[in-house]
Amino acid sequence: MKTHVRVLVIGGGVVGVSTLYHLTRKGWADVALIERTELTAGSTWHAAGLLPLFNMSYTVGQLHKYSVDLYKRLPQETGQDVSFHVTGNLRLATCKERMDEYQKYCGTANTIGVPFEVIGPARVKELWPLIELGGSADTPALIGALYHPHDGHIAPADLTMALRKGARNAGAEIYEHTEALAFERVASGEWRVRTSQGDIRAEHLVLATGNYARQTGRLLGLNVPAIPVEHQYIVYDESPELKAYRQGGGRELAVLREPDKSYYLREERMGWILGPYEHGAPARFADGVPDWFGRSLFPGDLDRLVPHVEAATRRVPALEHCGIKDIVNGPISYAPDGSPLIGPAWGLRNVWINEGHSFGITAAGGAGWQLAEWIVEGEPGIDMLGVDPRRFGAYTSKRFLVQKNEETYRNVFTIHFPDEERPDARPAKTSAVYDRLDARGAVWGQRYGWERANWFAPPGVERRDRWSFRRSNYFEHVGNEARLMRERAGVIDLTPFTKHEVTGPGAEAWLDGLVANKVPSKTGRLALCHALTRRGGIRSEFTVTKIAERHYYVVSAGAAERYDSDYLFKSLPGDGSVGLRNITNTRGCFVLAGPKSREVLAQLTDTPLDNASFPWLTAQTIEAGLAVEVYALRVNFVGALGWELHFPVEYAHHLFDALFEAGKAHGIGMVGMRAMESLRLEKSYRMWGSDMTPDYTPFEAGLDRFVRMNKGPFIGREALEKQLAAGVPNRFVTLEVHGVSDADPLGNEPLFEPGGRVIGRATSGYYGHCLRKSLAIGYTRAEFAQPGTQLAIEILGERKQATVLRESPYDPDNLDLRA
């Protein structure tokens, strides 16, 4: 066994081996993998081998697409067959909302280039002659289906062996029966791994340990948010009907999914494999995998399977005539949102995570591809925010994970509404004024563990969402909140904001080197600053305020807490000249905005608030009511006169009550997240994570005014220079969408030029309640970004005409903000 390697991959399932393979493809041959028993001994050996291209996530969709393409060429490259049956994949729909979901997915598929067909029942029958089209109470009529002709199923062990062969041919080493037992960082910065076969030193570690993710993480002090859930499928004996159909010349049937009944079905040796996602499947191994669990399975639980078997048998009566050969019930790793964890570990250098894979056979190719890119190049090649392990924070307690993962599992096949808010493990993290907002009718959502009020139900209105892809029950109330903000004064509780304090003699220079804008040098000034990737993409957005000499207050998206904090801490200079503290939980934040906001705040403070004393884009530390040390920032995300009040959290109740008391005469009210979405789109404000991502540079994003190319070096600058020289390929656009009746754009819709070619994508969309326009923002090829250009956008399968507007259709000259 080697004693030193550049990268050591821990875990020999399909994901670990794929990572190893891709590292060699990137030219790193001095890499090795250790596996505690044998390759594929974890979840990989018993997987059903389905490779669904379908995924609602922009990132995961791209990873799956890469995998399917890779698996098709692997046999030729390695000489190892992988039994890839390109049967196609049929997802049935029995209700209109399901078709809406497929149509929404098609938008994403179009933007990432995944081929699909939306088909009707007659075509379903043609493709799948053994199906019942239904029409009774217990077998609803099919109304259509989504068909992916190019995916199918594969033999997971063969796939792993092909990847192994490819990696070994390129010089990688694989050591079986070698368990990682302990990790230690040595003086050189490398990792010393104690294994059951001796020590290995490595520059980089990759954790790909599947069901063992939590215990592997614990060895490094990481609480990896992945806990497996039981998943079972039934293997049937030969089916006479299927046999007759195949012997009659019928081609292998497409993998069939009936999501409305939560099961998948595929052929297996003239019989079937039927796999449901059942209610009641328990999370397992929350405290680690016990020693007795090797290559084992759990006993099958027929009671859980029965409703799905019955539904499938009604849809495919051929199932009735074949006996059950086996039930495979194994652990399947899950993260709370169902997407894998791929990327750097937080708080540790050169430790990489490739865990939490619930569709690991499908994702392995893409996950290995991008992780290898990240390790070798320092950055991934595509936007990986949707799978970055740092999208979760410290709140993922064991009980949270158990509840959320069980919930995610049983919802694999439910309709993924864009406004869905799942109820389990809630409320967990709340702002101090949660009860006050609740008393005002808050209808809650959850993001990064925080409860956030999406909207407020007025008295007498039902406090619940009717989830939909279209305008729904809360539409009118969200509109009222948006208008309240534009006409009077509104309050938004944005306590979840990520907040850091940067101090010390080196604070300014350090921050300045991290971001593209000039960090303010004058106390009381603030600036919107973007940290870029080395490729020039947008990695983070910070509002940087100079509070005092050598003291900055840095605010970023609430959901980016661990992501941003990890980046900032890892970027700190080693000379002690900069102090950095994550103070997210020590300060609350209320946005007070609207034309009456000055009059409201004036009643609470002696600080003059007139334009000369407190101009737009400045900040002051004020007293507000009885609260001291309130950072008042004259900015907001809704485009109105107003202040963000960042206060010591102990004043939350007092300040909230004082604001509402002072605002009573002005008709002050609460405003939720959905109204904020509407308001910010009217101002063309970009949101981190959807409109600002590593896929686009600030020039593409139209954020040129926040880039100072002449200020000196900053990360990403060289890439920006190259882009300027070569020409900026895409441009940010704001679109008015015409002819919308009930389905506004929501993001991830393809944009077409008049000739019908895809020339961009919407990254967000909503109804602008004050402008009374359906709006989208996004990116097009540069030549289509001129105001007035006529484009088309596809919303739920319908092409709508869209006009490129001048930026900020509401108040383009910012008169409200400067009022």
Ligand X SMILES: Cc1cc2nc3c(=O)[nH]c(=O)nc-3n(C[C@H](O)[C@H](O)[C@H](O)COP(=O)(O)OP(=O)(O)OC[C@H]3O[C@@H](n4cnc5c(N)ncnc54)[C@H](O)[C@@H]3O)c2cc1C
CB of 14 to ligand X, least distance (A): 5
CB count within 10 Å of CB 814 equals 14
Among 87, 103, 339, 358, binds ligand X (CB under 6 A): 358
Q: Rank residues 213 and 591 by Cβ distance to ligand X and give the closer one.
A: 213
223: left (phi over 0), alpha (psi -120 to 50) or beta: beta
Which one, of 204, 97, 106, lies nearest residue 146 by Cα?
106
Residues 164-193 that bind ligand X (CB under 6 A): 179-180
By the rule CB under 6 A, 211 interacts with ligand X: yes
What is the pairing mode between strands 4-10 and 198-207?
A: parallel
Would you count residue 67 as binding ligand X (CB under 6 A)?
A: no
- Considering only residues 5, 41, 489, 589, which one is a binding residue for ligand X as defined by CB under 6 A? 41
Quick one: 268 or 508, whose CB is closer to ligand X?
A: 268
Q: Per-residue x/- marks for ligand X, 122-161, CB under 6 A? A: ----------------------------------------
Residues 222, 328, 345, 353: which binds ligand X (CB under 6 A)?
328
The residues with which 736 forms a beta bridge, in sequence order, are 775, 803
Least distance from C-beta 359 to ligand X, angstroms? 4
* Among residues 58, 128, 147, 233, the one that binds ligand X under rule CB under 6 A: 233
Contact (Cβ atoms closer than 8 angstroms) between residue 31 and residue 20: yes
Exactly one of 9, 20, 28, 36 binds ligand X (CB under 6 A); which one?
Answer: 36
At closest approach, how far in Å is the CB of 269 from ligand X?
A: 16
205's tokens: 């570690």
Nearer to ligand X, 295 or 464 (CB): 295
208 counts as binding ligand X under rule CB under 6 A: yes
Confirm if 565 and 583 have CB atoms less than 8 A apart. no
Tell me how far, at minimum, the Cβ of 800 lies from ligand X, in Å: 35
Question: Does residue 127 contact residue 311 with C-beta atoms inside 8 Å?
Answer: no
> Are 164 and 39 in contact, with CB atoms under 8 Å apart?
yes
Nearer to ligand X, 344 or 536 (CB): 344
The footprint of ligand X on this chain (CB under 6 A) covers a number of residues equal to 40
54 touching ligand X, by CB under 6 A: no
With contacts defined by CB under 6 A, name the span among 5-13, 453-461, 489-497, 556-564 that binds ligand X: 5-13
- Tell me which of 8, 9, 16, 640 binds ligand X, using CB under 6 A: 16
Pairwise CA distance, residues 723 & 725, whole Å: 5
- 514 lines the binding site for ligand X (CB under 6 A): no
Please, what is the minimum distance in Å from the beta carbon of residue 139 to ligand X?
A: 25
- Rounded Cα distance between 184 and 519, Å, is 38
> Smallest gap, in angstroms, from Cβ of residue 527 to ligand X?
43
Closer CB to ligand X, 49 or 445, in the complex: 49
Nearer Cβ to ligand X, position 64 or 261? 64
Q: How far is the CB of 313 from ligand X (least distance, A)?
A: 20
Contact status, residue 579 vs residue 569, Cβ threshold 8 Å: no
Per CB under 6 A, does 366 bind ligand X? no
Task: List alpha helices for 727-789, DSSP H.
Answer: none
DSSP 149: T
Span near ligand X by CB under 6 A; candidates 353-361, 434-442, 626-634, 698-706: 353-361
Q: In the complex, what is the shortest distance from the CB of residue 474 to ligand X, in angstroms, rounded to a whole number?
A: 36
CB 289, min distance to ligand X, A: 8
In 3-state terms, what secondary structure has residue 529? strand
Q: Which of 74, 130, 161, 332 binds ligand X (CB under 6 A)?
A: 332
CB count within 10 Å of CB 70 equals 23
Work out which of 23, 32, 42, 672 binds ligand X, going by CB under 6 A. Answer: 42
C-beta neighbour count of 445 within 10 angstroms: 20
For ligand X, the closer of residues 209 and 697 by Cβ is 209
Among 8, 12, 147, 751, binds ligand X (CB under 6 A): 12
User: Which region among 54-62, 68-76, 327-335, 742-750 touches ligand X (by CB under 6 A)?
Assistant: 327-335
Distance of CA 620 to the CA centre of its chain: 35
Asked whether 631 and 547 are in contact (CB, 8 A), the reply is: yes
Where is 85: in which H helix or E strand? Answer: none
| One residue of 166, 210, 343, 366 binding ligand X per CB under 6 A | 210
Backbone dihedral angles phi then psi of residue 495, each to the nearest 5 degrees = -55, -35
Helical pair 360-377 and 156-169, crossing angle rounded to 10 deg: 20
In the block, residue with structure tokens 């490779």: 51
| Closest distance of CB 433 from ligand X, Å | 41
Instruction: Rule CB under 6 A: say whether 10 interacts with ligand X.
Output: yes
E-only strand ranges, 19-143 = 31-34, 89-93, 117-119
Based on the shown chain and the rule CB under 6 A, indicate whether residue 209 belongs to the binding site for ligand X: yes
CB atoms within 10 A of CB 56: 15
Closer Cβ to ligand X, 360 or 479, answer by number:
360
- Region binding ligand X by CB under 6 A among candidate stretches 74-82, 328-336, 430-438, 533-541: 328-336
Min separation Cβ 44 and ligand X, Å: 3
For residue 179, the minimal CB distance to ligand X (Å) is 4
- CA-to-CA separations, 699 to 528, 691, 716, 721, 771, in angstroms, rounded: 15, 13, 12, 11, 27
Alpha carbon distance 703, 542 (integer Å): 13
For 605, the enclosing helix (H) or strand (E) is none
Q: Answer whether 122's CB lies under 8 Å from 179's CB.
A: no
Among 32, 353, 361, 443, binds ligand X (CB under 6 A): 361
Which residue in the set 66, 183, 334, 359 belongs to the binding site for ligand X (CB under 6 A)?
359
Task: Give the tokens for residue 184.
Answer: 């230690």
Angstrom distance (rounded) from CA 17 to CA 80: 15
Tell me: does residue 35 bind ligand X (CB under 6 A).
yes
Least distance to ligand X, CB of residue 515, Å: 36
> With contact defined as beta carbons under 8 Å apart, do 737 and 745 qualify?
yes
For residue 225, state whether it binds ligand X (rule: CB under 6 A). Answer: no
Considering only CA atoms, which of 701, 809, 806, 814 is closest in space to residue 763?
A: 701
For ligand X, the closer CB: 50 or 740: 50
Let me know: does 456 contact 409? Beta carbons within 8 Å.
no
Residue from 29, 37, 286, 814 touching ligand X (CB under 6 A): that is: 37
Residue 364's alpha-carbon distances to 344, 355, 361, 453, 674, in angstroms, are 17, 10, 5, 37, 36
User: Cβ of residue 219: shortest distance to ligand X, in angstroms?
Assistant: 8
* Rg of the chain on CA atoms, in Å: 27
User: Which of 707, 377, 695 shows the shortest CA–CA distance to 515?
Assistant: 707
Instruction: Indicate whether 46 belongs to the interface with ligand X (CB under 6 A).
Output: yes
Decide: is 370 part of the binding site for ligand X (CB under 6 A): no
Task: Summarize as ranges the residues that interact with ligand X (CB under 6 A).
Answer: 10-16, 34-37, 41-44, 46-50, 179-180, 208-212, 216, 231, 233, 328, 330-332, 357-362
